[in-house]
Chain A
Amino acid sequence: MLDFVEKLNSMGLDAKPLGKWEFEVTVPKERVAEILSYLKSAGFRAFMGLACVDWIDDGEFELVYNLQSYGEAIQALVKTRISRVKPIMDSMMQLWELCQVYEREIHEFFGVKFVGNPNLEPFFLENWLDTPPLRKDFDTLAYSQELFEFKEDETHGIETPERIE
């Protein structure tokens, strides 16, 4: 595994091992496709998942591509940071068709646009009009109190039904 770390470091990237079976590499946004295709050709043929982390203080989203090499039984985490204000990223569908679903879900819950993904329709949420719900600035408690709970003074013009005893 250390060969991969050295090789990636020699490519001018910041790679470090995480324990015995895993390493992470931080990649600028433009080089993600290049590094992913290199890793794919080097044995990391399985795409395990794509995650998004909201670093609200840095004003950035972090996308984590999780790859697995079945031959050497190691995992690679490819991390990249994109701007939080205009979150746009290239789709990795030409490498793994599977990315389509993950990108669609991240678009739904974080609002990251993936250029090249043909279908970014909402997956789970129906009729969602607010900020994407997994962003850190989305107040989920206030949302649920507003939508699901009636306040005492707010009857929305409808009278409370009488109880049938």
Chain B
Amino acid sequence: MSEWDELVNYFRGRSMWMLHYCTGCGAIELPPTMTSRWDMERFGIIPMATPRQADILLITGYLSIKTLKRVVYTYEQMSAPKWVLGFGSCTINGGIYWDSYGVIQNLDKYIPVDLYIAGCMPRPEAILDAFGKLKKMVQKGEAKGYEKYIKNYDWYKANQDRVFRRTEPVLRKAEEVTKSA
């Protein structure tokens, strides 16, 4: 890493704009994080309204198949140095929706997640801690999820298509039941 890159990374870590994709209950933890009690603006992190302006994509909760499609659109609209924060256990393994037919289980299969915040729900302290860790990762040049996405695009695309573009029933047994009925 050249010195110029180090300088750029230093400033990128100091100014991370966040797009919070509020799907689940996690959205309720963000207002206290933004406002006067915990005040994340002091780290240069402010909420942004559109994916074009954002650096961090914060996924706060479970994602159904329909919402995952929108998340992938959103992620692909963001411009290049971009990072994904998975928030809550739902993005890690489905959380309480571990056996649900509509909710995806592992976000990392569809878009590259740089950092997970475990918990159901994570407290604002945990969110700020994650921002601090992400800042260090960015400044050291370790957070390279977007490069991983470009490099392994086929793998991610195949995983996405497996969920979005099903052409035959997922359960063969179920298919038989339908036919007999």
Is there direct touching of A and B in the complex, by C-beta distance under 8 Å? yes
* Complexed CA–CA distance, A13 and B57 (Å): 58
* CB <8 Å contact, B169 and A130: yes
Among A41-49, A62-70, A94-102, A134-142, the one that faces the other chain is: A134-142
* Complexed CA–CA distance, A159 and B159 (Å): 12
B95 to chain A, nearest CB (A): 12
A140 partner, pick from B100, B147, B154, B164, beta carbons under 8 A: B100
Contacts known (A137-B177, A158-B155, A159-B155); A146 close to B106, Cβ less than 8 A: no
Q: Identify the interface centre among B106, B151, B167, B174: most chain A CB within 10 Å of its CB.
A: B174
Total number of A-B contacts with CB less than 8 angstroms?
81
A148 partner, pick from B147, B163, B169, B174, beta carbons under 8 A: B163
Q: Which A residues form the contact surface with B (CB < 8 A)? A: 85, 124-127, 129-131, 133, 137-144, 146-150, 156, 158-161, 164
Q: What are 20 A-B pairs at a CB distance below 8 A? A: A85-B181, A126-B65, A126-B66, A127-B164, A130-B169, A130-B170, A131-B171, A131-B178, A142-B173, A144-B94, A144-B98, A146-B170, A147-B162, A147-B163, A148-B94, A149-B105, A156-B162, A158-B154, A158-B158, A161-B148
Q: Which B residues form the contact surface with A (CB < 8 A)? A: 65-66, 69, 94, 98-106, 109, 144, 147-148, 151-152, 154-155, 158, 162-171, 173-175, 177-178, 181
